[in-house]
Amino acid sequence: MAGGETNPDVSLLYDINGIARSAPGWVDRTMEFVGEYGIVCGFAVLMLCAWWSVRRGKDAPAGVAALLWAPLAAGIALLVNIPIRGFVRRPRPFLDHHGLDVLVPGKTDYSFVSDHATLTMALAVGLFVAHRKYGLVGIGLAVLEGFSRVYLGVHYPTDVVGGLALGTAVALLLAPLAMMALTPLTRWVAGTRAARLVRAPGAAGPSVVPAAGVDMVGEERESPLRHDRDLAA
């Protein structure tokens, strides 16, 4: 272990990746699928479930706008990571440290920060803004994604921590601006034939002040003056 005695980042890398060396082959194959594709697919299912739920909320267009922000935040976070990787230029751990069990070969780009950790945490935090229950599940999946990258031998633990922090920062700091831009769009869609994309049929809308002579279900109220004229007749 090169430098593992004094570097906690490297020693933790060997400890987590060491689990792969003693695990059965099917566990390694499962972790490889989960770490590369499975968790990202899980987020697609979470987003669909959250969309189905927020469409029934009191202010469905705003909820859908927050949900739209999640993948946009992930894309922006990945773009922000490009200059970070180019500036830090940290090699993959298996290039500097021998004895690692690398389960995903062929990784030749820089290590810091982890794209997978950045992507999944930005999705999770954006999802949390839209729907807390599904967002908490997403945060758990993002942490699992980070663990899997170290388990697979392709990232240091600090690569993962950096990715989780970057995804969180982008999703939270830009959320107010994103909501200002996206909410008017989803409110506009709610008034078109595509309204079902942002509001489920029968879902309660935001509170409104009824117009004179019209009750809250859109039926005309009888005018007191008209009622008096009917009695006089």
pLDDT digits (tens, 9 = 90+) for 161-195: 999 999 999 999 999 999 999 999 999 988 888 88
pLDDT at 217: 35
DSSP helix, strand, coil percent of the chain (3-state; round to 5): 70, 0, 30
pLDDT score at 6: 66
> Which amino acid, 208?
V
For residues 36-43, give the mean pLDDT: 91
Q: Return the minimum-mean-pLDDT range out of 98-102, 123-127, 155-159, 179-183.
A: 98-102
Q: What is the mean pLDDT of residues 116-142?
A: 94
**What is d(CA 198, CA 55) in angstroms, rounded to the nearest whole number?**
6
10 Å Cβ neighbour count for 86? 9
Q: Find the mean pLDDT for residues 6-35.
A: 86
Q: How many CA atoms within 13 Å lie on the side-chain side of 63?
A: 26
User: Quick one: pLDDT band at residue 213, thresholds 50, 70, 90?
Assistant: very low
* pLDDT level of residue 211 (50, 70, 90 thresholds): very low
In our burial notation (b when 16+ CB lie closer than 10 A, e otherwise), range 156-179 reads bbbbbbbbbebbbbbbeebbeebb
Average pLDDT over every residue of 27-31: 88
Q: Please name each of the domains of the chain with its CATH number.
A: 8-190 (1.20.144)
What's the pLDDT tens digit per position in 132-145? 999 999 999 999 99
Helix 132-151 vs helix 157-173: angle between axes, to the nearest 10 degrees? 150
d(CA 203, CA 57): 7
Q: pLDDT-based confidence at 227, cuts 50/70/90?
A: very low
Q: Is the pLDDT of residue 230 over 50?
A: no
Place of tokens 């400890």: 15
Residue 232: partners with Cβ closer than 8 Å, 6 or more residues away: none
Q: What pLDDT, on the 0 to 100 scale, is given for residue 192?
A: 87
User: What is the rounded average pLDDT for all residues in the chain?
Assistant: 83
Do residues 142 and 123 lie in contact, with contact meaning Cβ atoms separated by under 8 Å? yes
Q: Which residue has the tokens 């490297």?
A: 10
Cα gap 115→127, rounded to integer Å: 18
- pLDDT category at 202 given cuts 50, 70, 90 is low
